[in-house]
Amino acid sequence: MTNNDDKNKTFKVAIVGATGAVGLEIIRTIHSRSFPCAAPSLYASARSAGKTVATPYGALTINEFERGDVACAKYDVIFLAVSGSFALRYARDLASSTMTAEEGGGGGPLVIDNSSAFRLVDDVPLVVPEINLDSVAATTRLIANPNCTTAIAAMALWPIHCAHGGIKRCIVSTYQAASGAGAEGMEELKRGCASQLETNELPEAKVFSHPLPFNVIPHIDKFQENGYTKEEMKVAWETRKIFNDPQMLISCTAVRIPTLRAHSESITVETRAPITPASARESLTNQPGVAVVDEPLDNVYPMPLTATSRHDVEVGRLRQSLVFEEYGLDLFVCGDQLLRGAALNAVLIAEG
């Protein structure tokens, strides 16, 4: 985390992977939240080096990532919007560099990694700031950003967990937008929709396992030996770590749907103490980062259409579970995958 004690400091920021969907959203988010920095330095692969991108800071040039150049540039914060293999190779090295903007000032830059590389590593905090910022020590230099689906669900589940004796069991079904596969996924969906409407033929699928237009695909990430996909298991593994509750039982089915951005999730919970829609609503209403959108008789409920580009996670369709009865609740959640599920969460970590 950055040091908020120095209110007048301007931080030096780098974004590695700046040409991807998450990298571009980080640029917009640090600007919209008035994060105290000058225009960030942007890094990507050699293929993108020299190109310019339009940003709220004006046109910025992409630099080719070179470990030595980044380490020697004395950054305070480095956002990684890169693959897991890239993060494994460079993240710890960058975080351990002592060449920061304030010479001799407390170790290396703060490195916030959006990949899955360090999320389950014991000595790396996995952080949703509204939930477990206290897991970050003052000397921590590497922090993992959760999986987008996990981050969105966690925002809704945490206040319920705290107010009702903890969550005993949780069943999640996700409806995940093309943005979860990055800019390439969104572009494939847009091109495929246009092509299929024009030709009435199935478009080619390169990013997804099947054509996504007018389809749903119950397959995100690689299948594991237990029959679940890795995406589904990430929700279980990461939620337990963020909540510091290894006993919580979580089952997830992850489905890709043909929307551009904002993931939706249908969630059923069994709590250890009795729960009602009214008590859940009260706990959710008091949770920063959550918007209760729950007037179903007026057709008001969470939707990707309304959650897109919104910082808050929308929560609604609060109902007493017919399965778990007085200990159970059904709810529906929507959150912008590129914001709450990635860029916004990373910037909130940096703000500390």
- Which are the catalytic amino acids? 148, 263
The encoded tokens of residue 62 equal 């992409």
Burial string for 85-100 (b: 16+ CB within 10 Å, else e) reads: ebbeebbbebbebeeb
Angle at CA 152, nearest 5°, toward 249 and 229? 55
Name 197's Cβ contacts closer than 8 Å, sequence gap at least 6: none
Can you list the alpha helix ranges (DSSP code H) found in the chain? 21-32, 67-72, 84-96, 129-132, 148-163, 182-199, 230-243, 277-285, 304-307, 344-351
The encoded tokens of residue 240 equal 């337990």
Beta strands in the chain (DSSP E): 13-16, 41-44, 52-55, 58-64, 77-80, 110-113, 142-144, 167-176, 249-256, 263-271, 290-292, 313-321, 325-335
Backbone phi, then psi, for 95, in 5-degree steps? -70, -25
37 near 6, Cβ under 8 Å? no
- The secondary structure of residue 224, as a DSSP letter, is P
